Structures are given as C-alpha cells and as structure tokens.
C-alpha cells in the first residue's frame, strides 16, 4: 500500500502541485481584500477557500499525470525522468489514465460544488486542456511551447481571484500576467540547467534553437524586466500601497540582477541562482499585496 501511494504521489508531482496551487490562495485573498475593503477578513468563506484549493489541486494532479502518460517514451530517454512510475511500469498507462480523468473531473466538480463562479470553473478546465493537449505535444516542435505552457501555469491565481470576483477585470488579468511572465525566467533557468538532458528527448525549451547563448539569455533578461514592471501595476488600482512597492521593487531588482548575471556569464551556476531567486519572487509579491 505504501509503495502504491508513493507511486501515485510521483505521478501527480505532489510537491510541485502544492506550490502551484498555493498561488490560487493568494488570488483568493487579494480578491477578498480588493472586493470587500477594510474588513475583508470578516467575509472569509472557508468552504469556498478550501474548495478552490482542493479543486485546483485535483485539476493539476490530472494535468501532471496525463502529461507523463503522453511523454512516457521521451521520459525514458532523459536522466531526470527515467525513473518515473509509468516509465518503470510501477503504474500501468491504463490505471494512470483512469486515475487522472477521475481526479480531473473531481476537480471541476469540487469547484462547482463549493459555489465557485463560472469564470473560476472555466479557467480551471482551460488550464487542464491547454496543458495536456496543446503544451505537451508542442514541446518537441517549437520553443513556443514555453509560451503556451505558461498560460495554464499562470491561471491558478486568477482561478482563486475569480472565485470572489466573478468577472473579467484588470486586477485578475494583472495577477495572471505576473504569474505568466514569472514563468519565463523560472522555467528558462531550469531549461538552461537541464538543456543537455532535454536534448536527449528532442525538447527545445530555451528561447532560441541555438541553446545556451546570448540571444537566449537576452530574452530571459527582457521577460524579467517585463515581470518587474507588471508587478507594479496593482498600485494603480489601490490594491498595492507604497509599502508594498517598497518590498516588491528591491526584490524585482534583485531578480533582475540574477537574470543579468546569466546574460553576462552564460554559466549554468548563474541559471541555478536565478532559479532560486524565482522561488522567492511570486510568494513575496503576492503577500505584499495582501499585507500592505
């Protein structure tokens, strides 16, 4: 039983999933503060909050598992993925497929059951469809796959936000854009570190076909600049105060410096430092919007 649980934890990438879905909680809290004003915590709905987290988590479980089913052959070619449960036959493709579709539908049903808005449910479903059926097959075709993959990866904070604010508005879009642009320096740092391993499966995940060069590093730098600028935009809508900006701006400059160091050196060690800096960025930015 323990071995089976461990196999399915690996299939759904549980640890990664929790970090992704955590951003939906930030979106929920930011929306509550924005929509309810000074006494926003008085309107906190635990059922809706937990339902959004659980529903989102189940959807990401399904996406991660279906991704591994589709990429079974390529995963076996790469050192970092050759020990995944489907590759090693610890979970059959049929069992994994059944499990993933059940978790995916349960995720959507959970969002509906707790009263999440239509927009929140729609975004949850879109994240699953785009990740599995567009991003995954595109990875072997074009570096544009990273752009496509960034869309479902950027939806969790908007899903949480839309649970409270059930309409398309500027702040929801800004939260999406922050998470969207953050993924480029984050994921390209990973792709920089693992470029040789990705090549074994024919994946081109750096910005240019030439790999670890100045042109790729320049794009990392440019997207980091855009990210820092977008992170300032909530100030325009009264959700971020000057105190928040006093935290976000130095953090953004630090992140930008790490991207610049990668541009200057092109070293894998600098890509690793950029990756670590990315882990700090969005949690601190979103918490700044909430606390200040």
With tokens 């979103």, the residue in question is 286
User: Residue 247: CB partners within 8 Å, gap ≥ 6?
Assistant: 284, 288, 292
- What pLDDT, on the 0 to 100 scale, is given for residue 76? 79
- pTM score above 0.85: yes
CATH class of 1-168: mainly alpha
Q: Domain coordinates of the chain in residue numbers?
A: 1-168, 177-292
Structure tokens at 134: 């567009």
Question: 3-class SS at 209?
Answer: coil
Task: Report, as ranges of residue numbers, the positions in the chain whose pLDDT lies below 70.
Answer: 1, 38
- What pLDDT, on the 0 to 100 scale, is given for residue 1? 64
C-alpha torsion sign, points 181, 26, 164, 123 = positive
Q: Can you tell me the distance from the alpha carbon of 197 to that of 193, in angstroms, rounded to the nearest whole number?
A: 9
Structure tokens at 105: 């539908």
- What pLDDT, on the 0 to 100 scale, is given for residue 205? 78
Give tens-digit pLDDT for 24-52.
Answer: 999 999 998 887 776 777 778 999 999 99
- What pLDDT, on the 0 to 100 scale, is given for residue 120? 95
Q: What letters, b where the CB count within 10 A reaches 16 and e where it falls short, cover 73-87?
A: ebbbbbeebeebbbb
Give tens-digit pLDDT for 65-119.
Answer: 898 888 888 877 887 878 888 888 898 889 989 999 999 999 999 999 999 999 9
Q: Can you tell me the distance from the alpha carbon of 12 to that of 154, in angstroms, rounded to the nearest whole number?
A: 18
């Amino acid at each position: 039983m323990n071995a089976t649980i461990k196999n399915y934890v690996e299939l759904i990438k549980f640890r990664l999933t929790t970090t992704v879905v955590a951003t939906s909680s930030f979106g929920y809290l930011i929306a509550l503060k924005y929509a309810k004003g000074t006494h926003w915590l008085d309107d906190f709905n635990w059922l809706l909050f937990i339902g959004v987290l659980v529903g989102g988590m189940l959807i990401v479980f399904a996406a991660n598992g279906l991704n591994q089913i589709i990429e079974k052959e390529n995963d076996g070619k790469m050192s970092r993925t050759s020990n995944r449960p489907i590759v090693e036959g610890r979970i059959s493709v049929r069992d994994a497929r059944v499990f993933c579709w059940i978790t995916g539908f349960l995720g959507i049903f959970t969002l509906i059951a707790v009263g999440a808005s239509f927009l929140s449910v729609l975004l949850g479903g879109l994240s699953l469809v785009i990740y599995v059926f567009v991003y995954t097959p595109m990875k072997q075709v074009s570096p544009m796959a990273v752009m496509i993959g960034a869309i479902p990866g950027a939806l969790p904070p908007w899903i949480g936000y839309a649970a409270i604010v059930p309409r398309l508005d500027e702040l929801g879009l800004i939260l999406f854009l922050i998470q969207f642009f953050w993924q480029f320096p984050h994921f390209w740092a990973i792709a920089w570190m693992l470029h040789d391993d990705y090549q074994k499966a024919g994946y081109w995940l750096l910005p240019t076909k030439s790999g670890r060069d100045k042109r790729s590093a320049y794009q990392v730098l440019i997207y980091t600049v855009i990210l820092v600028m977008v992170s300032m935009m909530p100030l325009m809508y009264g959700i971020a105060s000057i105190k928040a900006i006093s935290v976000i701006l130095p953090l953004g400059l630090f992140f930008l410096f790490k991207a610049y160091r990668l541009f200057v050196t092109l070293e894998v060690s600098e890509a690793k430092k950029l990756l670590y800096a990315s882990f700090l960025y969005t949690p601190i930015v979103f918490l700044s919007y909430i606390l200040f």
